[in-house]
């Protein structure tokens, strides 16, 4: 089981806005696809927490079709345009604005946006995985979000531009939060 968010396939401005280490869209898309397929098999579930593609010149269905695994989409704020393409939506096993899944006995609430509260958050098993904020630590919500150990950022900038397991997500967020 893997998590990833905010790939922004085809989005030229995201390279500059998020200081991504890619020269252009072609390099970014190719590298994101290569890293995804290096970790994921066709028997794995990948939870994409929104902003899969944005203004992509290449059809989103083509990009999604290149990616291994059973893809589950939690809708992000940049997904509405490409979701009008039935072939693209067909690449996903399920599409929803919010999901709750079991990952090794952990109840994981998935939402594109960071949440202040979620199911079973006060219990050991309750976790929240989100995207949307990339590496933004300048926002007024950052001190609160940083203090929430069970809220984990699945954005590619925090997670090496690849899908990650829950344990990798935990470690990457620990390091990222400690650095900020």
Query: pLDDT 10s per residue in the chain (180 long)?
Result: 999 999 999 999 999 999 999 999 999 999 999 999 999 999 999 999 999 999 888 899 999 999 999 999 999 999 999 999 999 999 999 999 999 999 999 999 999 999 999 999 999 999 999 999 999 899 999 999 999 999 999 999 999 999 999 999 999 999 999 999
**Domains in the chain, please, with CATH?**
2-179 (3.60.21.10)
- Nearest in space to 106 (alpha carbons), one of 169, 14, 60: 169
What is d(CA 86, CA 75) in angstroms, rounded to the nearest whole number? 15
Token readout for 39 is: 């970790």
- Nearest in space to 73 (alpha carbons), one of 93, 55, 100, 54: 93
Measured between its terminal Cα atoms, the distance across the chain in Å is 28
User: Whole-structure pTM over 0.75, yes or no?
Assistant: yes
């Amino acid at each position: 089981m893997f998590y990833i968010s905010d790939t922004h396939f085809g989005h030229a401005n995201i390279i500059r806005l998020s200081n991504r280490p890619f020269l252009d869209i072609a390099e970014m898309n190719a590298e994101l696809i290569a890293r995804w397929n290096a970790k994921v098999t066709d028997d794995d579930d990948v939870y994409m927490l929104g902003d899969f593609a944005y203004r992509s010149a290449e059809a989103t269905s083509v990009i999604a079709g290149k990616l291994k695994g059973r893809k589950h989409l939690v809708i992000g704020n940049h997904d509405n345009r490409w979701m009008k393409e039935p072939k693209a939506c067909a690449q996903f096993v399920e599409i929803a604005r919010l999901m709750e899944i079991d990952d090794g006995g952990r109840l994981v609430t998935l939402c594109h946006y960071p949440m202040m509260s979620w199911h079973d958050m006060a219990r050991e098993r309750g976790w929240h995985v989100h995207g949307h904020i990339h590496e933004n630590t300048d926002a007024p919500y950052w001190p609160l979000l940083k203090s929430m150990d069970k809220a984990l950022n699945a954005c590619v900038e925090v997670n090496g531009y690849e899908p990650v397991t829950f344990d990798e997500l935990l470690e990457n967020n620990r390091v990222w939060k400690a650095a900020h």
